[in-house]
Chains A and B, each alone.
Chain A
Amino acid sequence: MASTESSRAAIETQKLNLWYGTFQALFDVDLEIKPGIITSMIGPSGCGKSTFLRSVNRINERLGYVRTTGSIRVHGRDVYAPEVEIIQVRKQVGMVFQRPNPLPLSVRDNILFGARLHGEPAPKLSSSQADEIVETALQKVLLWDKVKDRLNQPAIGLSLEEQQKLCIARLLPVKPQVLLMDEPCSALDPAGTEAVEEMIWELRGDYTILIVTHNMAQARRASEECIFMLLGKVIEHSPTDELFVTPGDTRTADYIEGRYG
């Protein structure tokens, strides 16, 4: 594999196969996801898009019965190499889940959670440093003005939209390069979806964002490249406009026209 290629791709997989027990969920997935843009993954339920996402930060391994072959390189480094420390992978690859899952802590402590885990030279943050981290992260997700007076209240008390923004904000102090988002708007109402989508769009450029969605309209308006998966295989990967206007594969065309899925 050419080294120039690997330095260009944010996430690059080769012959990625994945099994849950005896069930094979991914088949020879070869993908190259460009840095700094938003790439969406679409496909019917069970097509492996979430599985793919969850194998990039190796959170899949929590299940215990997952087996993976092939490689996933994040900025050129194989995250499945035997010497890799899973903690370091997760530091570089942040994840947002389907349901907002703030930790049972205050808004402020949610933001500082990751920063405290990885605060390397001085694990104890001074309170002014902490304040700055909290404000920067919340500003970035357009939440600061709404919650600045509620920083010490439990994060569970926020609205779902605010919770999901908080879940994105808490990744930022850890300084990940890649953000994985697993249907981040599926628990939100239309207004919340719009607000979170806009916010994600603002993060473009600073982070490589890979977003799984079952909502084709969302993929179309909120991503630059789009991947269509079916039954564990990548069918098509092209610029979003192209994929939706002139799909290269009849299965993609059938799916986006709503013939199945």
Chain B
Amino acid sequence: MAHNAGALDRRDTAWYVDKAVEWLVFIGGISAIIFIVGIFVFIGKEGFGFILGRFDFAEFFFSPRWTPTSLTNATYGALALIVGTASVTGFAMLVSVPFSLGAAIYIAEFATGKRRETLKVLIEMLAAIPSVVWGFIGLSLMNPLIISVFNVPLGLNVLNAGIILGLMAAPIMTTIAEDALKAVPDGYREAAEALGATRWQVIRQVVLPAAKNGLVAAVLLGVGRGFGETMAVLMATGHSINIPSSIFDPVRALTATIATELGETAEGSEHYQALFALGILLFAVTFVINLTADLFVRGIKDK
């Protein structure tokens, strides 16, 4: 009775709100792409000058001599920096993978109720600790500890940074690994238990293989985290250009090099551009790692 004829094309406030929100959300979504492309263009623009000009492939990848400030003979060998980052990240994974997978298995398969929730919150809190605090722990706690325990002259080295970075990467690895384990249908566990499998047999023979892709993704994201970490690595590695022969040798990381040197170079100079070339390398590596992790995660869903 109150419904007038002819009102079928009426657009009320809700219609305009709906359209406005649609646009806002679209802009939000598209901005991620714009930012990624923007960053890529920016780093590329600054770094490609070096790559096209002064860049010497053999020197960059195979020489450990990074002496950009030398007035007479500046060299840009990134090998020591690449090895530095790789060794710290590699050692960090040795620390982090067993811990994280263990924690994820415990949380997902054994812990129940309050204990489970508490652990999850604690692990998320661990992820919220700023990296400079981790660096501080490396510098003032781990450093003297390593010196006295291993009787070495210097405690800022691969071991120190590896442990710190391992602890830093653990929360994200644990969280993602736990998600992967939780995504395994409970019917699998029930089926295996009904066949008389023990808890460990269920985990080892059914749950872990089923969650394999997610676990690989978790580890890869941890590696990506390690590669890109700057501050803690800068503080704990000793920051000295060196190809390490043991875990007690100090190293220098790619990220830390950019962070410490960029402010002291003239914009557009060779050195400045070389640092951006390091940035391109880092960007490329982390991009590939994250992409691979993403493909692994998608692999789970396709099954």
Contacts and interface: CB of A to CB of B under 8 A. Distances in A.
Interface of A: 57, 59, 62, 64, 87-88, 90-91, 94-95, 97, 99, 101-105, 113-114, 117-118, 156, 167, 170-171, 174
Contact of A174 (B189, B196, B210): B196
A90 B193 contact: yes
B196 A114 contact: yes
B195 A59 contact: no
Interface string B284-303: 00000000000000000001
Main DSSP-derived SS at the B contact region: helix
B198 A87 contact: yes
B201 A103 contact: no
A103 B192 CA distance: 8
A114 B189 CA distance: 13
Contacts of B198: 87
Contacts of B30: none
B59 to A, nearest CB: 50
B209 A97 contact: no
Contacts, number: 58
B193 A113 contact: no
A212 to B, nearest CB: 14
Interface string B196-212: 11100100011001100
Given A59-B190, A59-B194, 18 more contacts: A57-B194, A59-B193, A62-B189, A64-B112, A87-B196, A87-B198, A90-B195, A94-B194, A103-B191, A104-B188, A104-B206, A104-B209, A104-B303, A113-B195, A114-B195, A114-B196, A156-B303, A167-B191
A62 B190 CA distance: 8
Contacts of A102: 191
B194 A113 contact: no
B187 interface: yes
B196 A117 contact: yes
A103 B112 CA distance: 24
23 contacts: A59-B190, A62-B189, A62-B190, A62-B193, A90-B193, A90-B195, A91-B196, A97-B190, A97-B191, A101-B188, A101-B190, A101-B191, A102-B191, A103-B191, A103-B192, A103-B206, A104-B206, A113-B195, A114-B196, A117-B195, A156-B303, A171-B195, A174-B196
A57 B195 CA distance: 10
Leading 9 A-B pairs by shortest Cβ distance: A90-B196, A101-B187, A114-B195, A95-B194, A101-B191, A91-B196, A104-B210, A87-B196, A59-B194
Nearest to A104: B210
Q: How large is the interface on B (under 10, 10 to 19, 20 to 34, 35 or more residues)?
A: 20 to 34
B123 to A, nearest CB: 23
B25 to A, nearest CB: 36
Contacts of A64: 112
Nearest to A89: B196
Interface in B94-127: 112
Contacts of B195: 90, 94, 113-114, 117, 170-171, 174
Interface of B: 112, 185, 187-198, 201, 205-206, 209-210, 303
Contacts of A167: 191
A36 B92 CA distance: 59
B139 to A, nearest CB: 45
Contact of A117 (B190, B201, B209, B210): B201
Nearest to B192: A103
A99 B206 CA distance: 18
A113 B187 contact: no
Contacts of B197: 87, 113, 117
A91 B194 CA distance: 8
B205 to A, nearest CB: 7
A182 B242 CA distance: 66
A113 B205 contact: yes
Nearest to B212: A104
A113 B303 CA distance: 21
Contacts of A117: 195-197, 201
Nearest to A91: B196
A118 B205 CA distance: 14
Nearest to A113: B195
Contacts of A170: 195
Contacts of A114: 195-196
Most chain A beta-carbon contacts within 10 A, residue among B187, B196, B209, B210: B196
Nearest to A173: B195
Nearest to B194: A95
A117 B206 CA distance: 12
Contacts of A103: 188, 191-192, 206
A88 B205 CA distance: 19
Nearest to A170: B195
Contacts of B187: 97, 99, 101
Contacts of A99: 187
Contacts of B196: 87-88, 90-91, 114, 117-118, 174
Nearest to B195: A114
Nearest to A99: B187
A59 B303 CA distance: 28
